[in-house]
Amino acid sequence: GVLLTAAQLTAMTPLVQPSARPQWIAALPVTSMGGINVLVRAIAADREPISLPSIGGGGPFTADAFAEAVAAGARVTDDVRTSLVPAQLARLLGDDRGIEALQQCTSVLVGGAATRPSLLAAAQSMGIAVTTTYGATETAGGCILDGRPLPGVSVTADAVTGVLTIAGPCVALGYRGEP
């Protein structure tokens, strides 16, 4: 029960989405913070996201479904974006149609888990505009892109305890039912 306001959910959108009207491909479940962020960004762009059947449980995540979604987005605009987890990126990089679709995206955000350096390097060597993200539900998703905090976000690490402290406009109010 993380408590997030509309302001916290939208705080990072202009920084992640400087283009006014990108078309977002929804490849993550909307029950996840990454999926919610895709919805928020699509609303900000005044476009309905193009959802893959896999997010509703209608089928597995496939390169063919992803490629079809990207092609549909490309018919609307030349600014097509998506958000993936590393396992999805790896699956797409193992398929020619997946690679071609990723190359058509102007931005591929990857988060939800650490991205292996070799996977990131492979994507970049193929000309894919991949950006690693770090965040949590408590920070309304990705507030650190490619290892750098977004403007307005501060990150400190205690060298002794290893505790990471994140502050900024995207940080949750707290937890439902907690003081």
Instruction: Please name the residue that has the structure tokens 């690693």.
Output: 132
Which residues are CB-contacts of 97 (< 8 A; sequence separation ≥ 6)? 63, 64, 67
pLDDT in tens, 13-46: 877 776 679 999 999 998 889 999 999 999 999 9
pLDDT at 153 over 90: yes
Q: How high is the mean pLDDT of the chain?
A: 93
Contact in structure between 89 and 110 (CB atoms under 8 Å): yes
Q: Which two tokens stand for residue 82?
A: 């998506």
Provide the residue type at 130 as one letter.
V
Per DSSP, 69 falls in state H
CA distance linking residue 110 with residue 176, whole number of Å: 28
Share of the chain above pLDDT 70, in %: 99
Range 79-90 average pLDDT: 97
pLDDT value at residue 109: 96
Model confidence at 142, in pLDDT bands (50, 70, 90)? confident
Q: What is the end-to-end Cα distance of the chain in Å, rounded?
A: 13
Amino acid sitting at position 59: G
State residue 20's pLDDT score.
74
pLDDT of res. 58: 80
Q: What angle do CA 159, 140, 175 make, to 5 degrees?
A: 80
List the one residue out of 132, 135, 131 whose CA is nearest residue 155: 135
> Does the pLDDT at position 90 exceed 80?
yes
Q: What is the pLDDT of residue 15?
A: 75
Cα–Cα distance measured from residue 119 to residue 129, given in angstroms and rounded to the nearest whole number: 13
Region 44-59 average pLDDT: 90
Please say whether the beta carbons of 39 and 27 come within 8 A: no
Q: What is the pTM of this model?
A: 0.92
CA distances from 35 to 24, 50, 95, 130 (A): 11, 12, 23, 17
The pLDDT of residue 62? 97
Copy the structure tokens of residue 115: 């991205």
Between 15 and 160, the more confident residue is 160
